Structure 1
Amino acid sequence: MADPPSSRAAGIECLADGLEKPLLDNRSYRVIKLANQLEALLIHDPDTDKASAAMDIDVGSFADEEDMPGMAHAVEHLLFMGTKKYPGENDYNAYLTRYAGHSNAFTASTSTNYYFELSATSTSNSQSSSANSSRSSLPVPKHQAPLYGALDRFSQFFVNPLFLEDTLDRELRAVDSENKKNLQSDPWRLMQLSKSLSSPEHPYHKFSTGSYKTLHDDPIGRGVKIRDEFMRFYAKHYSANRMKLAVLGREGLDELQEWVQEFFSEVQNQDLAQLRWDGIPALSKDDLLTQTFAKPVMDQRNLDIYFPYPDEDELYASHPARYISHLIGHEGPGSILAYIKAKGWANGLSAGASPQCPGTAFFSIGIRLTESGLVNYQEVVRIVFQYIAMIKEQPPQEWIVDEMSRLAEVDFKYRQKIPASRTTSMLSGQMQKPSPRDQLLSAQSLIRKFNPEAIETGLKCLNAENFRIRLVSQEFPGEWDKKEKWYGTEYRYEKIPADFMSEIRKAAQATAGERPKELYWPAVNEFVPQRLDVEKKEVKEPAVTPKLIRNDANVRTWWKKDDQFWVPKASLHVLLRSPLAKQTPFYSVMGQIYRELVEDSLTEYSYDAELAGLEYAIMSHGQGMDVVVSGYNDKMAVLLEKVLLSMRDLQISDERFDIIKERLMRGYKNFEYTEPFRQISSYSRWLVSESGIINFQLLEEIKTVTAEDVRQFFPQLLKQMHIEILAHGNVYKEDALRITNLVESTLRPRPLPVEQWPTRRCIMLPEGSDYRYERVLKNADNINHCLEYTVFTGDAQDLRIRAKTLLLAQMGDEPVFDTLRTKEQLGYVVGSNAVLVSTLAGWRILIQSEKDCAYLEKRVDEFLMAFERTIREMPDDEFEAHKIGLVNKRLEKLKNLGQETGRFWGHVVDEMYHFDLVYDDVANIEPLTKTDMLDFFNKFIHPHSTTRAKAAVHLIAQASAADLANKTSDGEKVEKLVDTLVQMLGQLGLEDANAAAELKKRLQKVDVAKADLEGIVGAVGGYMKEGAGVAAEQVEQILAQGKAVIAQMLPTLGIVAPSAVAASDTEVNGEEAAGVNGTQKEEKKSKTVVIEDVKAFKASMPLSPGPRAVKDLREFEELGAKL
């Protein structure tokens, strides 16, 4: 196809003017190459309300210098910290936030990906906006288009970043905090263990994240100028010909192309070759035929088998590894999993190829073992090799590839849109692959040809001389004699014993007669969809509410025929409403075991349905149980009926019960060892829920549950209930009524009277209250505390309260991050959001940090006091931009059928049936004034408000200030103090390359180890006056405010006065008296009340009203049709 005239005129090469795309994709695509060899994918989406761009650079952590691990990752962080054209370190993110946007980036092994998303328009998408109707179809001047300004700022990352000296230390600490966040994460620990036990000749061996030590302390100790090194890395690897850009917007392709050329033509091109590692094995000969026993943080039992495997990027037409993973990872009858699961040895299995870099990949098989499977792991390995031998006995089967190809084609044909930033980030990465440019959307999805030779090449790699094993368990073998360098994972590493290797080699050559008869090839998939017809009827506007087509004592059925996505798919949600499901923690545990047993019994049957795009799920929650079936509607009723019959007629074997119970128990236990920020919200929800249940209660109760308990429980659960159904998608009203009859006739429950339905209500904290709940974290090796600081704003069903809470969250998002993370460097995990829990509204700030929660809470208080001024002084146009951004966010178009189903079902289960909530939100946001928000803030949020209601959750790392003090040497205390003081001075604009040395010199005269606060403050003041030339009056003013901050910060550095350590020990060992009945204690000199007894706390609090339907349900009824 000829280049578009605009491309030829500009000297731009058009690589593809259109892409192979899904049937219903209304986007237009063009791939161009600028004169500097930068490739760009342009995406015009006429319907999008979000614009986005992403840049993928073909360099990642594999390019790190050997003596500075984490360089690529550090450079990724530093690019956000200002450019020559936009030098402010938050210029970029402040601009995005103004248009309800966000940004992020990630560093992978061979690429670094930067992306952003923001409103597609600077005007409101609200129909009530006076400007909306007249402007929506008119061209917008480019300087008013949010995407134009964002591309301008984004492009400068790759044109002229500053690598500012004063941001360097803070961002390296952010990298360090990110690394510390992962230190107790098993996926990170086990991945690095595999890397560390690989060939040092291959970059797979490297540590990729980096730390303050590897990026700052060690290189500076060698005399390295680290800023120069980061700039050198950038100059060496960031070249236009290595960059792939994807841009998505409402604007036409020609206009997007003009913008890309305007901003990205400046990127320098060095004509760099692709980094490749062909011929360098990631695993040397000595690394093969080994077994590693790794001790995890979590209680888990995994067997992993790794085979070095070829990089298949060039085989995008046939995807041979997918054939192999389809067979080995199959879960149906005859599969590896079906056989070892029947023996009680496994709970799950996965298999597939994972490319590491150009030239290198692994094929891995992962098996989740039971206790018995751990004991018999060698037998499990033998079975895997026997199955591989069975596959190799016959040539690659074309019928299997044809079936896979048909399913892939259907999936691609009816693929729906995903959010804008996910689209651009994914496609910019895909552009690094060698597939044809017009196949950027389809190359990774479609199987275009049968390539038996490539399949056989891949299968040859799965042999008994080309693998290694990793066994992960807290119990076996019981002794681990080594520690991995970067994460401290304990492990044992050895050659596979000769007798075991002999058994493996024998299994790899096993004939049909020598293999178990339970291993055989999969059957033809009966769930492949046949009927894919969709009756499309044009509508002026899609309906925003489903219809209520049955409403009686037994059943309530909601239905909507899809009228905007036109895919042959549907979703069925069935709520089995019963108070038994979560009446107590004991009943909740039984409900979860029951659910798991049903799913366990359906594994073999449902696997083919899952392959064919039809899935189910069962969920247990406070109102009962949900059964969900979603996917291609062709055979949906067949799967639903099988699920319901399995629920009704479940036969519980003692063996499977014991396995499921043990697996759930480990899950409850392991939750206590997840990262603190992943735990904390469960505690805050529990505190404000009238009858909430928390993880540690489940862990206690599950110990006593028996198989007979569950056998008695589930018939009672199903005996009496109310059924509520949503049928949505490519289903007609008659279909929905048939499904309703199917559910009702299969389960045959007695009606549950409305007055017995579970009611959800929240604790309402009184005005002026300030509560704190503390819990010490279980993981003794975790070094991070976590704070969730929540201020409550009232009843979430009050639309004015909702609107103000949502707008406050929009206005506070970027300042929270910029102040508490970027500037104060409190931790890597910092965020804020509106809290809308059931009937309760609020705003929360969350921080995970090495600093203790008391210090973090004070920093939040300081931030909020300053934020009041931010609101008060906010320019009117900025305030209006926040409102428009929030309105457009609330009105963001649904991308696919699943999102619409999720919205409908959320409104059904919350029993408010507020299907048009987003429009009511907008109607209440638009009239808000800055005065409204300032009054709202001062009443509900400001720390000095006498009417605010606040609750904080403190998750406390086990190491106390005294422990930390004892573990930290005097020299380390001084070093940490100096680093922190330099950082604090930098925030005041006092950057000085000699500050650290000067402060260290002055602190030599101070007893830092004994927390001599006056001496430390005096040393800082002396430096400011004499070393930094600050006026004496200004120094006194700064120190008057800063002294308290330094005092709070010292314990987090392990600097504690001996008297404080003794007092801390006395309080802990003496169990200082609580209040009356031991329920609450009021802190001295503070109005904060520490919650000691949650039951007593809840009993003393008023409750919110329960959820209330916004309309009489008869207004939704359409009951005319009957079967």
Structure 2
Amino acid sequence: ENMLMFVGAPEYGKEAGEDTSSWQTDTWYGTQYRITTVEQSTSEKWQNPVGNQLASHLHLPHPNEFLPSDFDLVTLPENTMKQYFSKKDSPPVCIQNDSEIQLWYKPDTAFRMPKVNIFVSFPVPAKDPTSSVGGVVMSLWTEWQNEVANVFAYAASMAGLHGEWAPNPKRGTIELHVSGYSHKAALFCRRLLETTVGTTAASDDDAPSLDSELWERLVHKMCDQYQSFFMAQVYQHAIYYMDQSLEAVPTPRTIEQRMMELEQLTIADLIAFHKKNFLSTSGLQIMVHGNVAPEQAIELGKAIPQILRGSSEPIAEAPPLKAAAPTLQQRIVQFPRDTSLVFRGKSWNEENTNHCALQYYPFGIVDLPTNACLSLLRHLIAEPAYNQLRTQEQLGYVVHSQLKTSGDHVKALVLLVQGEAKDPVHMDERMRLFWQSVRTQLVEMPDDEFLSHRKALYENFMESKKNLLQESASHWNHITNQTYHFDRIPDIAKHLQTRTKQDVLQLIDRCILYGSSLSIQMFGQGTEIPEIIEGNAENGNRTLALSDPIEFGRTQSLHPLPPTKEVQMVNLHS
């Protein structure tokens, strides 16, 4: 009897065939509207829901099965903590390692919260997961599974649990991430996997969970992601061309080709990818990190293959999982010696008049002392680069330096500038002069100032992780790249303490001033691209034009893969 209700719809009034002659019009927006009362018959029906069967449609929300009620912190035996987890930053340990799964475990020794992170990596048995079709289908599949899981994922999020499927086409894997309160995290993880297995069964009947409306939404979302790249900042286009020249994949594709192949994909293609039941593979990598006992982690590790099989039988009696394809390892191009490569291109955005110059200096595969020295060099140039290139010379409003890691083990230093005032050829020349000034400033730098920079970087390396998820992500990266070097950052920090000014100067001379380089020069709209003049540069390098970054990446020698490492399994029950 006392209610104010608003009803609005795109097709309302004239669009719905109603007479709107008596409707009012909003002064500012010109929107037509009317104010009316609820009909008496409707009001009586609402006041008496039991008598007119409305009660059957009214109910309280269903109980949220993901609400946690157990917030007790797990305590491990004292001898186990002392042997394996005596420090806050102790690495995870492998507690199961066989043909089916590799299970890593670590209790929360730093934050002591009733939370957990569960990461699962599923290898995709495809010949080339990095190909455009493989990458597109993997992305579509993860979007599909996330959409299907929304039915119960919202309730889980209200209970402090979050889960997501994510593709990793460069490694040829699909990952499942679950985080939140530990009491119901395993239940949520099981529900996500059971839903995925359920969509496999549903796909036999033309996949009711993947109708044309959902398919169009998935494709439209991915198409928008590609389209947004064309409208992105020009420095992102420069990074794209840099990556194209570095990564050696059997069937590389441009963004345009990926979009064309996305348009050609059909529901049947995604269902065919799904029917391969790629989740039923061996070689699963799992990490359980947080407020969970080892026995609970092992129980979850056993349950995952059983869910994928669709069988609750003990693992020893269940049919074996299919063999997985070897995990893909990204190969990185080895740059030719004494060569300065130059690529010039145009921004895709027709309204963008900004230019960008990007310089890539390859260092190759480096040991820990060199890695420490390279990190120190990047730390030393961060502020001078911004001060000189942006504030003093006003080359651009974006100045960025980065220590880049490609393929988990190949290092390089990247410096880029984006702006509208100067063309990228001029930017590149000034950036090269900047490196000479860096060397001069370093020679003249007092020893105490150099030591203060080194100390600041050391403290940054040794800074503790801010939260459990940040710590989990760091451990997970070392697991998935199969280096298992969990103490890499502290080890680099140890070598940093012995690096000298002379070490940094030698690095600048060898790899910056007289080393190979790649210059990506992106021109904004309205500016013609000048021809690249090849020949010998002042530093003795050959200057060569790079016309096709993809072809360059396919025709060069490759850095060797990092050596494989054995995983030592521990028994936390002994």
Structure 2 vs 1, CA of residues 606 and 794 (structure 1 numbering), >3 Å: closer, same or farther?
Answer: same
> Hey, what does 1:644 align to over in structure 2?
193
Q: CA deviation at 1:700?
A: 2.5
Residue equivalent to 1:741: 302
Aligned amino acid, residue 907 of structure 1: H
1:603 aligns to 2:144 (yes or no): no
Aligned to 2:561: 1106
Query: In the TM superposition, what is the alpha-carbon distance from 1:869 to its structure 2 partner?
Result: 0.6
CA distance in 2, matches of 1:728, 1:1097: 42
1:769 aligns with 2:339: yes
- Structure 1 pair 579/788, CA: closer, same or farther in 2 (3 Å)? farther
Which residue in the other structure is 1:1083 paired with? Answer: 534
Q: What residue in structure 2 maps to residue 101 of structure 1?
A: none
Deviation at 1:578, TM superposition (A): 2.5
Please say if residues 331 and 558 of structure 2, whose CA atoms lie closer than 8 Å, have aligned partners that are also in contact.
yes
Letter in 2 for 1:953: I
SS at match of 2:458: helix
Q: Secondary structure of the equivalent of 2:283?
A: strand
1:876 to 427, 447, 452: 447
What's the counterpart of residue 307 of structure 1?
none
Counterpart in the other structure of 1:936:
507
Amino acid aligned to 1:764: Q
Match of 2:121 among 567, 570, 575: 575
The answer on 1:704 being equivalent to 2:264 is yes
Paired residue type of 2:229: F
> How far, CA to CA, are the matches of 2:110 and 2:397 in structure 1?
41
Question: How many Å separate the matches in 2 of 1:864 and 1:744?
Answer: 54
Q: Quote the residue 1:687 is aligned against.
A: 245
> 1:592-991, aligned counterparts within 5 Å?
592-621=139-168, 622-623=170-171, 624-650=173-199, 651=207, 652-691=210-249, 695-716=255-276, 717-748=278-309, 750-752=321-323, 756-796=326-366, 798-837=367-406, 838-850=408-420, 851-942=422-513, 945=514, 948-961=515-528
1:639 shift after superposition: 1.3
Q: Within the alignment, does 1:528 sit opposite 2:67 as a pair?
A: yes
TM-score by length of 1: 0.43
Among 135, 143, 151, the alignment partner of 1:588 is 135
Q: Match for 1:682: what amino acid?
A: Y
Matched, 1:497 2:64: no
Instruction: Return closer, same or farther for 1:541/1:721 CA change in 2, 3 Å cut-off.
Output: closer
Say yes or no: does 1:565 pair with 2:125: no
Preserved contact between residue 761 and residue 1107 of structure 1 (Cα < 8 Å):
no
One of 1093, 1108, 1115 as aligned partner of 2:548? 1093
1:677 positional shift: 3.1
Over residues 936-959 of structure 1, what are the superposed CA-to-partner deviations in whole Å (9 max), with x where a residue is unaligned? 1100011xx1xx121122332222
Q: Amino acid of the residue matched to residue 486 of structure 2?
A: F
The offset of 1:579, in angstroms, is 5.0
Change (3 A) 1:655 1:868: same
Give, as a single letter, the amino acid of the residue that structure 2 aligns with 1:637: A
Q: How far apart in 2 are the matches of 1:799 and 1:1085? A: 33
SS in 2 for 1:826: coil
1:760, 1:1107 within 8 Å by CA — same for their partners in 2? no
The Cα of 1:686 is off from its aligned counterpart by 2.9
The CA deviation at 1:1119 is 3.8
State the distance in 2 between where 1:511 and 1:841 align. 72
- Where in structure 2 are the equivalents of 1:421-440 lying within 5 Å? none
Q: Is the 8 A contact 2:114 2:181 kept in 1?
A: yes
Distance 1:1085 1:940 in 2: 17
Secondary structure in 2 aligned to 1:794?
Answer: strand
TM-score (norm 2): 0.82
Structure 1 residue runs of 5 or longer lacking an equivalent are: 1-327, 329-335, 337-375, 382-463, 469-492, 962-1063, 1073-1080
Checking the alignment, whether the CA contact within 8 Å between 2:241 and 2:549 is kept in structure 1 is no
Please say if residues 89 and 110 of structure 2, whose CA atoms lie closer than 8 Å, have aligned partners that are also in contact.
no
Aligned length: 512
Checking the alignment, whether the CA contact within 8 Å between 1:562 and 1:729 is kept in structure 2 is yes
Structure 1 CA distance, aligned partners of 2:480 and 2:416?
28
Tell me the alpha carbon deviations over residues 561-613 of structure 1, each in whole angstroms, 9 at most, x when there is no partner.
11121100000000002252724101111111111111111213101111221
Partner secondary structure for residue 911 of structure 1:
coil
Q: CA distance change for structure 1 residues 809 and 722 in 2, over 3 Å: closer, same or farther?
A: same
Residue range with higher mean Cα deviation, 662-671 or 522-531:
522-531
Q: Which runs of 5+ in 2 are unaligned?
A: 1-5, 14-22, 47-53, 200-206, 310-319
Secondary structure of 1:726 counterpart: strand
Q: Distance in 1 between matches of 2:161 and 2:392?
A: 48
Check 1:521–1:769 CA distance in 2 against 1; reply closer, same or farther (3 A cut): farther
**1:547 paired residue among 79, 89, 93:** 93
Cα deviation, residue 793, structure 1: 1.4
Cα distance in 2 between the residues matched to 1:377 and 1:774: 51
Aligned-partner Cα distance in 2 for 1:574–1:773: 40
C-alpha deviation, 1:696, in angstroms: 3.5
Say which one has the larger Rg.
Answer: 1
Quote the residue 1:411 is aligned against.
Answer: none
The separation in 1 between residues aligned to 2:543 and 2:103, in whole angstroms, is: 48
Q: Distance in 2 between matches of 1:512 and 1:907?
A: 66
One-letter code of the match for 1:883? R
**Contact 1:911–1:1107 under 8 Å retained in 2:** no
| Contact 1:839–1:1104 (Cα < 8 Å) also in 2 | no
Q: Residue type of the partner of 1:564?
A: A
> Alpha-carbon deviations, 1:980-1006, whole Å to 9, x = none?
xxxxxxxxxxxxxxxxxxxxxxxxxxx
**Counterpart residue identity of residue 518, structure 2:** A
Per the TM alignment, residue 880 of structure 1 is displaced from its structure 2 partner at its CA by 1.1
AA of the residue aligned to 1:740: G
Structure 1 residues 682 and 379 mapped into 2: Cα distance closer, same or farther (>3 Å)? farther
Identity, in percent, stands at 24
The 8 Å contact of residues 578 and 752 in structure 1, kept in 2 or not, is answered as no
Task: After TM superposition, list the pairs within 5 Å mapping 1:343-492 onto structure 2.
Answer: 378=10
Task: Return closer, same or farther for 1:799/1:703 CA change in 2, 3 Å cut-off.
Answer: same
CA change 1:777–1:882 in 2 (3 A) is same
Shift of 1:854: 1.1
